[in-house]
Amino acid sequence: MLKNTDFNIARLLNIFFISALLSLVLSCAENRPEINQIFWQINKIHNLDSGKYYDTLSLFIEARDEDGIEDLQTIYLINDKEELFWKMTEENWIQKTDGEENWFGSGSIIMNDFSSFPSGKYRTIVIDEAGERAETSFTLSKYESGFPEDAFPSAGIRGNTPYYSPGTEALWFFDKEMKLVKEVSAVGSAARNIQIPSGGEVMFAYKYDRANGFGLVTGPYGIK
């Protein structure tokens, strides 16, 4: 039979155990990720390797997580009506840092059959390591499915210096695994100072068609 002193000691131990357990649970509590901004755009591609023209969707979210951005694990893009979804992870997404903003996404989302993207609502979900998630959405309106072939930018490499057609706004450099190495502005004074970045194996030229609201991309151009 417990004595009063034994009972008091047992009660104190129980209180200590419960407090320690609560502290552990609270310390292990995960914060939900947040999506603060979203950017999306249809890009029309002229693929020089295949000679084909097709559409890609560029999607980037500005996300944060109080547990650290390295806690972010997966991004899903979903069109429920058309039963379409795409998955992005750190293995295939592009991460860009702009001041205190961290952007994650891809510029090469594509339909399996290279067709145009169906109009409608698209959900974007980001999930962290603990399974916590945040969601936002955008609506893609029906857009022109044709390709203005004479409007695409052109570019190349002369010696070790890139050159490009008037109106080109950016050059994208990728490594041999087609991971983005660097994006360089081709507007203004930057056009006279572009250097091929270390690790760059291929280059794409980009311009924006403001009249129709989509990007025009030509490439890849091999870098020797």
Q: What is the pLDDT of residues 102-132, one digit of tens each?
A: 999 999 999 999 999 999 999 999 999 989 9
3-state secondary structure of 177: coil
What are the phi and psi torsion angles at 25 (to 5°)?
-60, -45
Residue 9, SS3 per DSSP: helix
pLDDT at 66: 85
Residue 114 bridge partners (DSSP): none
**152 closest CA partner among 6, 51, 13:** 51
C-beta of residue 173 within 8 angstroms of C-beta of residue 134: no
Q: What are the pLDDT digits (tens) for 171-185?
A: 999 999 999 999 999
Sign of CA dihedral 132, 40, 107, 186: negative
Which superfamily does CATH assign the domain made up of 34-43+53-140 to? Penicillin-binding protein Tp47, domain C (2.60.40.1300)
| The pLDDT value given to residue 68 | 83
* Residue 43, amino acid: N
Q: So what's the pLDDT on residue 144? A: 87
| Beta-carbon contacts of residue 111 (< 8 Å; ≥ 6 apart) | 55, 84, 117
Which pLDDT belongs to residue 25? 47
Q: CB of 57 within 8 A of CB of 39? A: no
Report how far residue 203's alpha carbon sits from residue 220's, in angstroms, rounded to the nearest whole number: 5
Q: Would the pTM of this model clear 0.75, i.e. be above it?
A: yes
Low-confidence ranges of the chain (pLDDT < 70): 1-30, 189-192
d(CA 166, CA 144): 24
Q: Is 135 helix (H, G, I), strand (E, B) or coil?
A: strand
Task: Classify the C-alpha dihedral 72-78-80-83 as positive or negative.
Answer: negative
In the sheet where 133-140 sits, what is the strand order? Answer: 84-89, 72-79, 120-128, 133-140
| Residues in Cβ contact with 26 at an 8 Å cutoff, skipping those fewer than 6 apart | none
**What is the phi/psi pair of residue 14, to 5°?**
-65, -45
